[in-house]
Amino acid sequence: MFRTFGISASRRSGALAAPALLLALVLGATACGGDDTASGGDAPGDGGPSATASTAAAEVTVSPAAGRSVAPGTAVTVTTASGTLGTVTVTPKGKASDGVDPVEVTGKLAADGRTWTSDRTMTPGTAYTVTATATDAAGKQATTTSDFRTTAASKVNGVTATPLNNAVVGVGLPLSLAFDKPVADKAAVERALNITTTPAVKGSWGWLTDPLTGIQRVDWRPDAYWPTGTKVTLTARLSGIDTGGGRFLRRDIHDTFSIGTARISYADLAKHTMRVTENGRTVKNFKISGGSSAFPTWNGTMVVMAKQSTVRMTSASVDIATSQDSADFYDEDVHNAVRITTSGTFVHAAPWNDRYMGRQNKSHGCIGLSDSDAKWFFDSAVRGDVVVSTGSTRAVVDKGNGYGEWNLSTDQWHALSALA
């Protein structure tokens, strides 16, 4: 149906019926003479007749049409055939049907000023209002509004981002988005992600699956360790993206973090030592006892994931031994534990192996320290610090086991992008 503004009855009678699915706005130019009558008259002081005919009207069409229910990935377009568009907004009306805060939809105006197109997906189960202004050739401006809604999501996917909340992290921590359910349309998700860094840092997104938990994630890893002092901002416009099979993401993510001290530790399992560096300078040398020949420690580059002052560690939890009669059975409260793999590798206090520190590897795969050394390491460690392990008989840690992606070359890492 057409809505008219400032048009005389004689002109309205000749208007064409609008298409059923289009919302049109006709902007008429009013007379510019000395009075408001349709017949007009001489304009005072100019010696000539006033303008009584309008210039070409600006007809505006909005899609989706008013009252429609559409998929969250539907593009919103606003067009005018003969005028120019001004501001266009697509704003949610209240919360989504599942209670989440919906996103406002952004878009871009074409160079000729006649078409505006949204550039993102919308939140499922949300009522939206389109508000558009347009100006005709005579300079007459009017505004129209149109309401539609997005269909609710019958299936949803969740995402957890790391790090967030202005955290200060170590130089090895990638930006990571872990999904509750596997993502089929990885390219759609990756196109919605944006990273900005100060100073500029080169890197790439890559898709991984943790071999232990099966959790799928997409990480942004720089080509080399983050420079200390880097500020990182994530903008993830994920709300309304179908991750596959009609399973939608519902929330955007926007947050920042920064990079602190470059703390990198080098554990030599053959020499039973670990050297800790900060910003390239050695600050500590420790005697260690790593994994025994039966349960060797992973080789490769690992990253501090978390730390706990006390962790209960059992042989059963890592499928080593379930019977107390086994020589390899253990059930211990372990102190000052710094986690470096999902599969259960820690740097921690191991006073029961004090006599082996610096001499022999006797653990079940972790890197053991004396109580005092473990406390220093625990107090200093932050998420994102790097631990490089060499000299073990075990393979290099899998790329998805914790943040093992540092064991890939730059080219290998870039190849894991869905947009490579």
Query: Regarding beta strands 23-27 and 2-5, do their DSSP bridges make them parallel or antiparallel, or are they unpaired?
Result: parallel
pLDDT bin (cut points 50, 70, 90) of residue 330 is: low
Class for the domain spanning 263-407: mainly beta
- Looking at residue 327, the DSSP 8-state letter turns out to be T
CA-to-CA separations, 252 to 41, 255, 344, in angstroms, rounded: 58, 10, 32
What is the CATH code for 155-260? 2.60.40.3710
Higher pLDDT, 93 or 138: 93
Domain 2-150 is of which CATH architecture? Sandwich (2.60)
Segments of the chain assigned to CATH 2.40.440.10: 263-407
Q: At a CB cut-off of 8 Å and minimum separation 6, what does 405 contact?
A: 174, 206, 208, 219, 221, 399, 413
In the chain, the largest separation of any two C-alpha atoms, in whole Å, equals: 114
Q: What is the pLDDT of residues 211-262, one digit of tens each?
A: 999 999 999 999 999 999 999 999 999 999 999 999 999 999 999 999 999 9
Which SS3 state, helix, strand or coil, does residue 414 take?
helix
Going by C-alpha positions, the residue among 311, 294, 286, 284 that lies closest to residue 361 is: 294
**160, 174, 225, 238 from 218: Cα distances, Å:** 11, 10, 18, 13
pLDDT on residue 328: 65
Q: Write down the residue that tokens 């939890």 correspond to.
A: 317
Give me the catalytic one of 272, 364, 366, 414: 366
- The pLDDT score that the predictor gives to residue 22 is 35
Give residue-wise pLDDT tens across range 251-295: 999 999 999 999 999 999 999 999 999 999 999 999 999 999 999
Q: How confident is the model at residue 137 (pLDDT cuts 50, 70, 90)?
A: confident
Q: How far apart are CA 298 and CA 5, in angstroms?
A: 74
Of 32, 272, 335, 348, the catalytic one is: 348
Ranges for all domains in the chain classified under CATH 2.60.40.3710: 155-260
pLDDT band at 336 (very low <50, low <70, confident <90, very high): very high
- Is residue 363 within 8 A of residue 289, CB to CB? The reply is yes
- Has residue 90 got a pLDDT over 70? yes
Burial class (CB in 10 A: 0-12, 13-18, 19+), 111: exposed
* Whole-number pLDDT of residue 145: 93
- Would you say the C-alpha torsion 378, 380, 385, 387 has a positive or negative sign? negative
Give the model confidence (pLDDT) of 31-66 as tens digits. Answer: 333 333 333 333 333 333 322 223 345 789 999 999
pLDDT value for 59: 86
Distance CA 377, CA 276 (A): 9
Confidence of residue 142 (pLDDT cuts 50, 70, 90): confident
Lowest mean pLDDT among 117-121, 315-319, 351-355: 315-319
Q: How far is CA 217 from CA 57, 126, 210, 333, 419, in A?
A: 52, 27, 8, 31, 15
> In which residue ranges of the chain is CATH 2.60.40.3780 found?
2-150
Q: How does pLDDT run across 168-191, given as a tens digit for each residue?
A: 999 999 999 999 999 999 999 999
CA 365-368-371 angle, 5° bins: 155
Instruction: For residue 370, give both structure tokens.
Output: 């004396």
Return all residues near 112 (Cβ < 8 A) that are at least 6 apart. none
Say yes or no to pLDDT of 21 above 60. Answer: no
At residue 321, the pLDDT reads: 57
- C-alpha to C-alpha distance for 384 and 230, rounded to whole angstroms: 13
Q: Is the pLDDT of residue 420 over 70?
A: yes
DSSP H helices, 359-398, are: 371-380
Question: How many other C-beta atoms lie within 10 A of the C-beta of residue 324?
Answer: 9
pLDDT class of 313 with cuts at 50, 70, 90: confident
Tell me the CB-side half-sphere exposure of residue 190, using CA atoms within 13 A: 19
For residue 148, pLDDT over 80 is answered with yes
**Neighbour tally for 176: CB within 10 Å:** 17
The per-residue pLDDT for 81 is 86
Residues 322 and 331: their CA atoms lie apart, in Å, by 10
Tokens of 221: 């890893």
pTM for the model = 0.81
Q: Mean pLDDT score of the chain, rounded to an integer? A: 86
pLDDT at residue 315, as a whole number: 64
Show Cβ contacts of residue 310 under 8 Å, excluding neighbours closer than 6 positions.
333, 334, 335, 337
Determine whether 32 is an active site residue. no
| E runs forming strands in 151-243 | 155-156, 159-162, 167-169, 175-179, 193-198, 203-209, 216-222, 231-236
